[in-house]
Amino acid sequence: MSYDIAELPEDGEPITVADEDTGELDVPANPIIPIIHGDGIGTDVGPAAQQVLDAAAEATGRSIAWMRVYAGESAREKYDENMPEETVRAIREHRVAIKGPLTTPVGSGFRSLNVALRKVLDLYANVRPTYHLDGVPSPVKNPEEMDMITFRENTEDVYAGIEWEAGTDEVEKVREFVEDEMGADGVIHDGPVGIGIKPITEFGSKRLIREAIDYAVANGRDSVTLVHKGNIMKFTEGQFRDWGYEVAEEEYGDDVVTEDELWEEYDGEQPDGTVVVKDRIADNMLQQLLTRTSDYSVIATMNLNGDYMSDAAGAQIGGLGIAPGVNFGHGKALAEPVHGSAPKYAGQDKVNPTAMILSGREMLDYLGWSDAADLVRDAVEAQISSGRVTYDLERQIEGGEKLATSEFAEEVVERIHDLA
């Protein structure tokens, strides 16, 4: 492995694949982990997360050999391009990485770099855990009822990016084909129109839903809910639901029961050790997150629904400044916070690094370092409960004390040392 600009650390070993069929990894005690600090506030939260993750690794007898790689603004400075090939190659070769937020212009400019990384690396599952930490202010009465993990498909639906701009020759060809050849005359209003295609495949749906069910079975979760708008989009979102039930019924045997079977065969009493697979319409699900929060454990859904769902769930536990995320592929993972780059706060040593830190916690868990991952969560929760927090939380906590990003990270590190 050689790189032109990125530097390969000398004190680390690469992660390798132990089983090609399952994607199981062989993780050394000192793995090389590529990291992209990111744009905007990434310059603040990236180093803060590194500091905390280093402490958790060291407290459990391990170490991380960080490999700085670049995308977005930092890549333009070093490579004169947004997504250098060697950044992609470094993540692909080293299997597990973490990144901060990358800026995407709205309505113009380059396409999302976050999406580009997920697609080029085939990181098909965007996984967003949502749980409440003691001490975090929340707009709901019982935020502790939220303990949900969303599996959001990462390569299809709106991320497929098949669309044609209003006023172009291409969109008029599509309109003509849809109206004249496909029998949809009169469906599209006269005048300028933008048209997009929303692909949902059996392959993409089933591998995402398998990830969700596998997670539920392995972690003792009681249900997987397929979220869709199949009452309207019957052959895309409705098909996602149908393929989900096919996977559950054909591949998981006695490990799962459907919600219909639960009531028809078990009178509503869930058999021990099983996962209930059910489905909900997307708009109804958004209100049930508030009204029946504890009924939902693992969500499997398409791309756009998953974005809405996980952000709404994040609001219930204190906002996106707390919300972690990670992208899974076959034998590879890229952790990243849910929040954006917030460029107006860049370099001010001000923002909350918790989402980036907890995304790192998901990365540690993926490595099989559950003891280090637990230390990170416990230390962050203890720090927030103390009231010594960054400005976003301090202004909501009576008697809170405001810390800089770097100060918050330093105190979390101290708590890791105390807990270890």
Please give the mean pLDDT across all residues of the chain: 94
Q: What is the pLDDT of residue 1?
A: 73
Place of tokens 């720090």: 383
Name the residue type at position 5: I
Q: How far apart are CA 183 and CA 172, in angstroms?
A: 16
CA-wise closest residue to 114 among 339, 345, 392: 339
- Residues facing 256 on adjacent strands: 275
Q: Three-state SS across 375-405?
A: HHHHHHHHHHHCCEECHHHHCCCCCCEECCH
Encoded tokens for 332: 């590879």
Name the residue type at position 140: V
**343 marked as binding residue:** yes
The answer, yes or no, to whether residue 110 has pLDDT greater than 60, is: no
Q: What is the pLDDT of residue 103?
A: 82
The answer, yes or no, to whether residue 360 has pLDDT greater than 80, is: yes
**415 marked as binding residue:** no
Residue 388: HSE in the Cβ half-sphere, 13 Å Cα cutoff: 15
Phi and psi at residue 97, to the nearest 5°: -150, 170
Question: Distances in Å between the alpha carbon of 313 and those of 151, 309, 323, 377?
Answer: 13, 6, 9, 19
Q: How far apart are CA 301 and CA 204, in angstroms?
A: 11
Mean pLDDT of the region 3-10: 92
**359 marked as binding residue:** no
Q: What is the pLDDT of residue 116?
A: 86
**111 marked as binding residue:** no
Cα of first residue to Cα of last residue in the chain, in angstroms, is: 35
Q: What is the pLDDT of residue 111?
A: 61
Question: Quick check: 230 and 281 in contact, CB under 8 A?
Answer: yes
**92 marked as binding residue:** no
Question: Distances in Å between the alpha carbon of 416 and those of 46, 374, 377?
Answer: 18, 10, 9
Q: What is the pLDDT of residue 186?
A: 82
Which helix (H) or strand (E) segment is 3 a member of? Answer: none
Mean pLDDT of the region 103-127: 79
The answer, yes or no, to whether residue 107 has pLDDT greater than 60, is: no
> Long-range contacts: 229-236, Cβ < 8 Å, 24+?
229/281, 229/282, 229/283, 229/305, 230/279, 230/281, 231/281, 233/198, 236/198, 236/199, 236/200
Q: What is the pLDDT of residue 153?
A: 96
Q: What is the pLDDT of residue 183?
A: 84
Mean pLDDT of the region 344-363: 96
pLDDT classification of 109: cutoffs 50, 70, 90? low
Question: Distances in Å between the alpha carbon of 206 and those of 158, 200, 255, 257, 302?
Answer: 18, 10, 17, 17, 11
The answer, yes or no, to whether residue 108 has pLDDT greater than 80, is: no
Phi and psi at residue 153, to the nearest 5°: -65, 135
**370 marked as binding residue:** no
Q: How far is C-alpha 59 from the chain's CA centre?
A: 26
Lowest mean pLDDT, pick from 181-185, 203-207, 260-264: 181-185
Q: How big is the chain, counted in residues?
A: 420
Q: How far apart are CA 347 and CA 294, in angstroms?
A: 39
pLDDT classification of 161: cutoffs 50, 70, 90? confident
Q: Which residues contact 141 (CB under 8 A, 6 or more apart)?
A: none
Say if residue 151 is exposed, middle or buried (CB neighbours under 10 Å; 0-12, 13-18, 19+).
Answer: buried
**366 marked as binding residue:** no
**112 marked as binding residue:** yes
Per-residue pLDDT tens over the stretch 272-315: 999 999 999 999 999 999 999 999 999 999 999 999 999 999 99
CA-wise closest residue to 305 among 354, 397, 241: 241
- Residues facing 31 on adjacent strands: 13
Q: Which residues contact 137 (CB under 8 A, 6 or more apart)?
A: 318, 393, 396, 397
Q: What is the pLDDT of residue 295?
A: 96
Mean pLDDT of the region 24-36: 97
Q: What is the pLDDT of residue 230?
A: 96
Query: Which residues participate in catalysis according to the annotation?
Result: 159, 229, 283, 307
For each of the domains in the chain, give its residue range(s) and CATH number, in order of start: 1-134+320-420 (3.40.718.10), 139-153+200-316 (3.40.718.10), 157-198 (no CATH)
Mean pLDDT of the region 63-82: 94
Question: Quick check: 168 and 190 in contact, CB under 8 A?
Answer: no
The answer, yes or no, to whether residue 340 has pLDDT greater than 80, is: yes
pTM over 0.85: yes
Mean pLDDT of the region 97-117: 76
* Apex 215 CA angle, 213 and 217, nearest 5: 70
- Residues facing 389 on adjacent strands: 402
Question: Distances in Å between the alpha carbon of 223 and those of 31, 278, 303, 313?
Answer: 34, 8, 20, 17
Q: What is the pLDDT of residue 256?
A: 97
Per-residue pLDDT tens over the stretch 211-227: 999 999 999 999 999 99
**152 marked as binding residue:** yes
Q: What is the pLDDT of residue 398?
A: 92
Per-residue pLDDT tens over the stretch 171-180: 999 999 999 9
Name the residue type at position 274: T
**118 marked as binding residue:** yes
The answer, yes or no, to whether residue 106 has pLDDT greater than 80, is: no
The answer, yes or no, to whether residue 105 has pLDDT greater than 70, is: no
